[in-house]
Amino acid sequence: MFKKTDETKVMRDPIHGYIHVDKQIVWDCINAKEMQRLRRIHQLGGDFQVYHTAEHSRFSHSLGVYEIVRRMVYEIDSLRMALSEYEKVCVMLAGLLHDIGHGPFSHAFEDISVFPHEEYTVKILMGDSEIHHLLASCKATLPNDVANIIAHKHERSCLNQIISGQLDADRMDYLLRDAYFTGTSYGKFDLERCLRTIRLQDDTIVVKQSGIHSIEDYIMARYHMYWQVYLHPVARSYEAMLSILFKRLKDVYRTNPKSLDRVGMFHAFLNGQPTIEDLFVMDEAACLYGFTLLQDCEDEILRDLSYRLLNRHLFEYVEYHSEKDIERIQAKVRAMGFDPMYYVYHDSVSQLPYSPYKESEKGVNIWVVDEAGEIIELSQVSEIVAAMTRADLKQDEKIYYPNDQVARAGRKKQ
């Protein structure tokens, strides 16, 4: 059904050695403009402010997810046999395309993006996009089936699990990739061993009990990457400033839209009616150039924050214990001449290394098959994982604020 490429195309990749493509539709999607745009969006948002080499894009991550899915559906015997060629291509495309709805700087952008990135992804897949036309001209049902897998509601639940679950191709790629590009070792786990350990049983992705150690290792890798990289307080400072800037943009747009004439890239979002074409044009280049222009705009807060973001004058932080801490910081900030409504940011994050079984989350749990062929939820089998789920939820609350006037001073000098 699916046309083959002339020869297997390979793309060199530090994580997987090579990315292998031999379906024309996959190749065409890689070269579609919605995919190419992901080259202009960092995988790790503000993390390059902490780990200076974390400059890799969602594009290379997407290729990596595709490659893991490809290996799963062709190299794991039980999956290869259980899935039709059509299903294989669907889930590989879902891996490739799962991030196309993302805006710049990952989550912070959602503060003005109107729709969450999942919604954009569906709009792009089902709407008037290059990707949609490629998929639909291949087979009419393809856009919808790919969208369903990405939305975790395909009727064949193993396809959903491959793309989103607690042991999915997305996480497997990003842990390895983010570890490589940050230069940390925390995210490393044994992908080969994991792949050898996974199989399909009763339409569920399961892992063999004998391979449980590599899964435990993977869960620890996640745990450490969260605290060392994804939730690093300095990266969160950058993202806090982004959120504040976007909030201020909206407020200024309401009261004085003309003053934002020069930053046209933000208009559709501020208007509240962004199309997929507006999202397409909104990448990190647009955003950063927007900040460059905002450095000279009328509004002092926007001038200050855009200068800070471009030149890495990050907010400081203190631990949050109670509302008193916030009041104290608000007073401090006010004394420095800043408006606390924007210049004090309360950020709270928490992360569970592994979420144990809940009926409602059945589809995202990790399932183990023991030697008798019984399927059991991971935390019932692994003492280490069980212990982790019993650990107190680690919560981290911080207050971000500027403790210098350097940015403002910097601007004035010019």
Could you say which residues in the range 365-394 bind a copy of itself, by CB under 8 A?
383-384, 386-388, 390-392, 394
Contact region for a copy of itself (CB under 8 A) — 57-65, 108-116, 141-149, 331-339?
57-65
Could you say which residues in the range 241-280 bind a copy of itself, by CB under 8 A?
265, 277
Q: How far is the CB of 148 from a copy of itself (least distance, A)?
A: 26
CB atoms within 10 A of CB 314: 23
Could you say which residues in the range 65-124 bind a copy of itself, by CB under 8 A?
none
Q: How far is the CB of 40 from a copy of itself (least distance, A)?
A: 6
Which of 105, 109, 186, 342 touches a copy of itself (CB under 8 A)?
186
Contact region for a copy of itself (CB under 8 A) — 37-45, 85-93, 134-142, 167-175?
37-45
Type of residue at 6: D
Could you say which residues in the range 290-349 bind a copy of itself, by CB under 8 A?
292, 310-312
Q: Which two tokens stand for residue 206?
A: 């399961």
Which of 3, 116, 141, 289 touches a copy of itself (CB under 8 A)?
289
CA–CA separation, 81 vs 402, rounded Å?
A: 58
Which of 1, 3, 4, 17 touches a copy of itself (CB under 8 A)?
17
Which of 182, 237, 306, 379 touches a copy of itself (CB under 8 A)?
182
Type of residue at 328: R
CA–CA separation, 109 vs 246, rounded Å?
A: 8
CA–CA separation, 316 vs 326, rounded Å?
A: 13
CA–CA separation, 90 vs 1, rounded Å?
A: 12
DSSP state of 393: P
Could you say which residues in the range 213-242 bind a copy of itself, by CB under 8 A?
213, 216-217, 220, 223-224, 227-228
Sort strands 204-208 and 367-369 into parallel, antiparallel or unpaired.
Answer: parallel
- Closest Cα partner for 402 from 324, 307, 321, 323? 307
Nearer to a copy of itself (CB atom), residue 152 or residue 193: 193
CA–CA separation, 25 vs 309, rounded Å?
A: 39
Nearer to a copy of itself (CB atom), residue 74 or residue 180: 180
Evaluate whether 347 touches 238 at the Cβ level (below 8 Å): no
